[in-house]
């Protein structure tokens, strides 16, 4: 299994037969093996998680499919108005919140985001991959306490559903915009799941926040599970 960080919340996970691309909207994608099945996932419609540019890869790769949260509404007419073939519609699979679908040899499950759309839990090639999308312990300074408490509660409820799951690779937000609360979502996730490797995301290119977090006393019980991300298009080969 090979993991590649593209930008922001976009990661690629590559297997022998499948390539999974999560929340791509900008950055340089590598060239892919045309014989592999390629799946673009989009967790929700926010501009930093979804862009219609992903549809241009349907012309380049014959075995591409798009798994989109149902808040992303794409019709044949909308595709044509934006310069894409209406035939792409047949390659789109829509998923809802707390959904479950079998797509080829891949099981796709979703959690309900406490912001927009879904988080993905994907089982393929004997591995389980979690991508949070915008499901996070959001705590915005200046917002009413009951608003932030509601976001916290919704996050805890969804992560509770993962407590007994073996997760091989997880992609989880570590967002410096939350100031002193930047770490709470990843900390809660690490303490309450069995995720073996956790890749931070949603960092807005502030990669130094990862090392800052790992050096803190908070992470002493699990810091070895957190992967350092230092640059775009960085890759890791994860042995079986």
The CATH number of residue 199's host domain is: 3.60.15.10
Q: Which residue has the tokens 């996970």?
A: 13
> Which residue range(s) make up the domain with 93?
2-237
| DSSP letter (8 states) at residue 189 | H
| Tens of pLDDT, residue by residue, the chain (240 residues) | 999 999 999 999 999 999 999 999 999 999 999 999 999 999 999 999 999 999 999 999 999 999 999 999 999 999 999 999 999 999 999 999 999 999 999 999 999 999 999 999 999 999 999 999 999 999 999 999 999 999 999 999 999 999 999 999 999 999 999 999 999 999 999 999 999 999 999 999 999 999 999 999 999 999 999 999 999 999 999 987
Residue 34: count other Cβ atoms within 10 Å of its Cβ: 11
Q: How many domains does the chain have?
A: 1
Contacts of 126 (CB under 8 A, 6+ apart): none
CA separation for the pair 203, 165 (Å, rounded): 26
């Amino acid at each position: 299994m090979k993991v590649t960080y593209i930008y922001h919340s976009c990661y690629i996970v590559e297997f022998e037969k499948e390539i999974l691309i999560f929340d791509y909207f900008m950055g340089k994608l590598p060239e892919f093996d045309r014989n592999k099945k390629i799946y673009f996932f989009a967790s929700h419609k926010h501009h930093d998680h979804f862009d219609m540019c992903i549809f241009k890869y349907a012309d380049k790769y014959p075995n591409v499919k798009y798994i989109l949260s149902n808040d992303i509404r794409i019709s044949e007419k909308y595709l044509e108005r934006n310069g894409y073939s209406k035939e792409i519609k047949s390659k789109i699979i829509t998923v809802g919140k707390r959904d479950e679908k079998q797509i080829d040899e891949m099981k796709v499950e979703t959690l309900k985001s406490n912001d927009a759309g879904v988080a993905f839990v994907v089982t393929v090639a004997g591995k389980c991959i979690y991508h949070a999308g915008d499901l996070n312990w959001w705590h915005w300074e200046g917002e009413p306490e009951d608003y932030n408490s509601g976001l916290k509660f919704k996050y805890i409820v969804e992560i509770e559903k993962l407590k007994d799951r073996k997760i091989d690779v997880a992609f989880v937000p570590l967002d410096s915009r939350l100031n002193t609360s930047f770490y709470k979502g990843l900390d809660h996730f690490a303490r309450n799941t069995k995720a073996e490797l956790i890749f931070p995301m949603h960092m807005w290119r502030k990669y130094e926040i990862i090392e800052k977090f790992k050096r803190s006393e908070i992470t002493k019980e699990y810091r070895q599970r957190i992967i350092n991300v230092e640059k775009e298009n960085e890759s890791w080969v994860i042995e079986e």
